[in-house]
Structure 1
Amino acid sequence: MANKKIKAIRGMNDVLPSQTPVWQYLENSVKAVLGGYGYQEIRMPIVEQTHLFKRSIGEVTDIVEKEMYTFEDRNGDSLTLRPEGTASCVRACEEHSLLSNNQSQRLWYLGPMFRHERPQKGRYRQFFQIGVETFGMATPDIDAETILLTARLWQKLGIQDAVELQLNTIGSAQTRIDYKAALVEYLTPFADQLDEDSQRRLTTNPLRILDSKDQNTQTLLNDAPELHTYLDDESREHFAKLTRILDAAGIEYKINQRLVRGLDYYGKTVFEWVTDKLGSQGTVCAGGRYDGLVEQLGGKPTPAVGFAMGVERLILLLETLGVIPAQVNTTLDVYITALGGDTDQAALLLADNIRQQQPQVRVQTHCGGGSYKSQMKKAQNSSARFVILLEDDDIQAKRVRIKPLTEDGEQVELNNDEISSWLAAQLG
């Protein structure tokens, strides 16, 4: 019996060479925008102590209750593959004293997160997030900055017309305590009409009922008390200043009082960028303010605000809208054939000479031998713009023949010392 092939774990996907240029395009676009705002990169481990997430996310959240990948290591310690990045970032900042002496920080990170969810398009068990976290700034201008930079990114990617900003404030801790009591009082008589998750949340995490996807539950909420009537004055003023800044910047938004986010550490500002182009998986970026989390994890009281965006979901949106620039998938400029004799050595040296003189030119040398026909076929399949034809006679004459890989491309003959400048002129 033949050995059975081993496949990737369900919901954990390979990113193939044909796909990575789009990933790199998105990642580089994000890095450029964040760099323009003065944000610095931080990199954290993908495995943390389990109680880090229980203390930060909340033990009665779906993530902790049902979705975390948790295991015991050989020392008997409970470890978890990180389901989100904020808690890890706070832990790293505290451990390395990045928040001491009232330091402010603007940080970002990129990497895989893990949740045991039902895999579907745009939602996976291993998924990549780009996260932004800011610390030490309590005023709404930093809330506005995080939203403005995401709007700048959407413009850079060409998706600004496909996303909508939904905005809310969930007030102070006391606001949420008072509102939870009112919401539970209102919903209790309708408990048997709620969806199964909402029935459970009624006694564990009632605010999460507000973003239930069940239509009947949403209908019941139409007459529920409104969160904003319970806001404290400070939260109300904070939110008003935030909206004034967004208005002045020309950022359109929709206030959604049922937007509460799924993690316990949020307070005051919460927001989501959503799209109607991806079916049910409509959130492409989400975040908010979490002033109490640093203290909750053992640090000093520190204001904080941040967000995370899903890489796979953004790529899906870029592909759906057809806004990925054509050059993103062009991985080569020049393909050099080696047609007989000692041309394999000459081809390698020629390629390195071009790279040395024109570092921006992407050159690939044919290796492995083969006929003219087979090498030209590989050149055509390489996506290169030009092919350099190198034969024994060309080596002796110190020349090459080069032609565009198009049907109407005309071949030209160049001396070796002309190649670099010619390519620079052709490739711009």
Structure 2
Amino acid sequence: MPRKERLLVTELPQLIALRGNNSELLFHDEADHRTFVGHLRQACERSGIRLHAFGLLPSQVYLLLSTDDKTTLARFSQYLGRVYVPYFNRRHGRSGVLWEGRYRSAGIEPAGYFLLCQKYIELRAQEAGSEVDPVWLSSAPAHLGMHRLDFLTPHPAWLALAPDDSGRQARYRQFLSVALGATFIHRVETCLRQNSVLANLNDCLALESRLQVPVRPRPAGRPRKHYPDRLEYWTRLEGVARQVMQGEDYREIRLPLLDESNEADDWAARLLSDGTMGCLQAIAEQHLTELPARLWYQGPMFRTHHLDGRQLEQFHQIGAEALGYDDVDIELEQLLLEHALLQRLKLLPWVELQINSLGTPRELARYRALLRQHFAPVLAGLDPLAQGSLASAPEVLLGGRLAGVPRELIETAPGIMNCLSSASLVRLERLTSALTQAGLPHSVRTDLFPHRPFYQQSFHEWQTAALEEHSVVCRGGRYDEMAARIIGRPVPACGFAFMVEPLLQLAEKARSQPLVTHVRRDIVILPAESHDIAFALQVGSMLRETFAFLAVENDLSTGGLAARQRRASGHGTRLLLTVSALDDRIEILEVAEQIRSGCRRESLISKLRLLLA
């Protein structure tokens, strides 16, 4: 069977992994590390490969580089093998192969994942615990200004960190202090194993449309034959949300269905499309609460269909808003609250937290002016409607969603960090440092921007690579200016919203069951045959009248009696009653002790009093 043709998107930097055969050591001491780094320098000079970062682990080598074609990369890899393997074999008295098969590779979307991958390989090398001088373990000392490696080529994503070297080194030192999330590490390893592209969903879809080949990792395992009850999961999701919100002293608020700020003549266009807007309007119009306040909500929202703008689409949100809190601590509280809810839903391994700082409205406006100037050649060729739309939010071009935007123009675009004041940078540093201390993995993505224009300062999203259509399951941030405009006075405000439908889809993929206390079921009544249903309902009514404080349920599910008894015995059921109208016989099962007994209808009440006492 022929080998699969290697995927190489030349405009994307490549993450390369070389592994020791059978996990054999590739480096025994510092001399091996020095020799390999020297060969790496020679390989870059001979091939013209632009090497951005490297990490040497005891049995693995990671390289982050850019190349113009497959042949150059192949010759680069072959040269490393031809010069290092003979040296290693001679020095350590061995023979045979050193590498485990071909090198593994993955394309990296530079705006969102280049610095994360650089951090991934440098941290792994530094954490390997070797006694070798760190300058020969990875490129981290060079990026921190502790050592100079002249064969490294700075990538535009690295240059966009700050205007000068000292600023980049300081920003990167802070960046390295934040732990990498397990979800991101799993994505990197999956992309390397499957030779796919590490990028967000929109970039992957654009690449697949242009190249006509799949670039995303393929899911493992066979397709599922059974899916959980989505309604039951939805009920549990609301129960988890209520427990978490009330535990943090958030009060539930009811939202209006109409968006009063929208004055369109079409009633459908006035339906509420965002929970934050509805929450602020309810406060402003009904004077529902005094500030400061913590509020949460759940309910339906409406938007135009993404494929047909004439159709309405209903979706659901579970969100929270905190008003009257100006300090960054409230943002940390909400991020930890989101983390707790995802943890209770057992979805943490499937999501990753990404954060960006938008600065103040004035700083964001200055950044947008720089972007308009940078993308002026692209904007000039658009129709007036598109020009007006992109003039107000040119950051959309950074995501590569507009066809015809050169990749080089996106990669060399100015970064928002260069436009932020020291106060905004300190605020972001306080938040990320607090998240690190709390043990919440996250990544700072300077190309992360909201779809709605009212955010300022911090903005974040919980994203998943497991869903194709809806990769964002939660988003939130600070929106002081919009809150002040709607309420009518200065009000610091921040909040977040979970998208319910993507959460349900993700739960099906993860096969998760939320950690929530089940609804109490003291007694479950099961008809032995279909003609016993009326008798079972009569028994249920009699028990509810007699035992007013017990939870009595009639189980009318279908299937064999044994299967129905197994299902009914779950969810904390204390007593299972199987009733038969033919002989007026009732069988009682004490579920916890698995003790069975029987009685007639007339003696059932006294029997249950004895068992429940």
Fold conserved (TM > 0.5)? yes
* Aligned pair partner of 1:97 in 287, 299, 302: 287
1:166 maps to 2:377: no
Q: 1:178 to 1:20 in 2, by over 3 A?
A: same
* 1: CA distance, partners of 2:332 / 2:404: 34
Match of 1:66 in 2: none
Match of 2:238 in 1: 27
1:247-326 aligned within 5 A: 247-297=436-486, 299-324=488-513
Secondary structure class of the residue paired with 2:259: strand
Measure how far apart 1:321 and its partner are: 0.3
* 2: CA distance, partners of 1:148 / 1:170: 21
Q: Would you say the 8 A contact 1:127–1:312 is kept in 2?
A: yes
1:276-425 aligned within 5 A: 276-297=465-486, 299-324=488-513, 333-336=524-527, 343=535, 346-352=538-544, 356=548, 358-359=550-551, 361-364=552-555, 380=564, 383-385=567-569, 386-391=576-581, 393-394=583-584, 400-402=586-588, 412-414=597-599, 415-416=603-604, 417-419=606-608, 422=611
1:84 maps to 2:274: yes
1:175 maps to 2:363: yes
* Residue identity opposite 1:334 in structure 2: I
- Structure number, greater radius of gyration: 2
1:135 maps to 2:320: no
Q: How many residues align?
A: 367
Q: Would you say the 8 A contact 1:336–1:388 is kept in 2?
A: yes
Match of 1:43 in 2: 254
What is the TM-score normalised by the length of structure 2?
0.53
Q: 1:382 to 1:127 in 2, by over 3 A?
A: farther
* 2: CA distance, partners of 1:113 / 1:404: 45
Please provide the CA RMSD for this pair: 3.9
Secondary structure class of the residue paired with 1:258: coil
Q: Deviations over 1:334-377 (max 9, x none)?
A: 32458679946742444425763532x433479xxxxxxx9977
Q: 1:388 to 1:194 in 2, by over 3 A?
A: farther
* 1: CA distance, partners of 2:421 / 2:329: 19
* 2: CA distance, partners of 1:345 / 1:127: 37
Q: Would you say the 8 A contact 1:335–1:382 is kept in 2?
A: no
Match of 2:217 in 1: none
* 2: CA distance, partners of 1:175 / 1:312: 35
Decide which moves more: 385-394 or 194-203: 194-203
Q: 1:401 to 1:45 in 2, by over 3 A?
A: same
Q: Deviations over 1:39-95 (max 9, x none)?
A: 01000111232xx158xxxxxxxxxxxxxxx6546xxxx961111111111111122
Q: Any stretches of 5+ residues in structure 1 without a counterpart? A: 1-16, 55-69, 367-373
Measure how far apart 1:333 and its partner are: 3.8
Match of 1:4 in 2: none
Q: 1:350 to 1:36 in 2, by over 3 A?
A: same
* Residue identity opposite 1:400 in structure 2: I
Measure how far apart 1:190 and its partner are: 3.3
* 2: CA distance, partners of 1:341 / 1:358: 21
Q: Would you say the 8 A contact 1:351–1:364 is kept in 2?
A: no
Match of 2:120 in 1: none
1:234 maps to 2:423: yes
* 2: CA distance, partners of 1:255 / 1:341: 59
Match of 1:186 in 2: 374
Secondary structure class of the residue paired with 1:292: helix
* Residue identity opposite 1:24 in structure 2: T
* Residue identity opposite 1:86 in structure 2: T
Secondary structure class of the residue paired with 1:44: coil
Secondary structure class of the residue paired with 1:241: helix
Match of 1:221 in 2: 410
Q: Deviations over 1:100-152 (max 9, x none)?
A: 5xx211111111111112369xxx91000011111001110001111010011
* Residue identity opposite 1:27 in structure 2: E
Secondary structure class of the residue paired with 1:146: helix
Q: 1:379 to 1:247 in 2, by over 3 A?
A: closer
Secondary structure class of the residue paired with 2:468: coil
Q: Deviations over 1:11-48 (max 9, x none)?
A: xxxxxx95321110111111111111110100011123
* 1: CA distance, partners of 2:353 / 2:469: 17
Q: 1:403 to 1:298 in 2, by over 3 A?
A: closer
* 1: CA distance, partners of 2:526 / 2:384: 60
Q: Deviations over 1:185-208 (max 9, x none)?
A: 111123479999976633232133
* 2: CA distance, partners of 1:34 / 1:198: 41
* 2: CA distance, partners of 1:403 / 1:170: 61
Q: Would you say the 8 A contact 1:351–1:363 is kept in 2?
A: no
* 2: CA distance, partners of 1:242 / 1:195: 41
* 2: CA distance, partners of 1:152 / 1:333: 33
Q: Deviations over 1:292-339 (max 9, x none)?
A: 112222510110000111101101111110012699799994324586
* Aligned pair partner of 1:110 in 273, 298, 318: 298
1:50-69 aligned within 5 A: 52-53=261-262
* Residue identity opposite 2:285 in structure 1: E
Q: Would you say the 8 A contact 1:193–1:217 is kept in 2?
A: no
Measure how far apart 1:239 and its partner are: 1.2
Q: Would you say the 8 A contact 2:577–2:586 is kept in 1?
A: no
Q: Which has the higher contact order (CA 8 A, sep 6+)?
A: 1
Measure how far apart 1:166 and its partner are: 0.3
Measure how far apart 1:99 and its partner are: 6.3
Q: Would you say the 8 A contact 2:525–2:579 is kept in 1?
A: no
Q: Would you say the 8 A contact 1:343–1:392 is kept in 2?
A: no
Q: 1:346 to 1:189 in 2, by over 3 A?
A: closer
Q: 1:24 to 1:218 in 2, by over 3 A?
A: farther
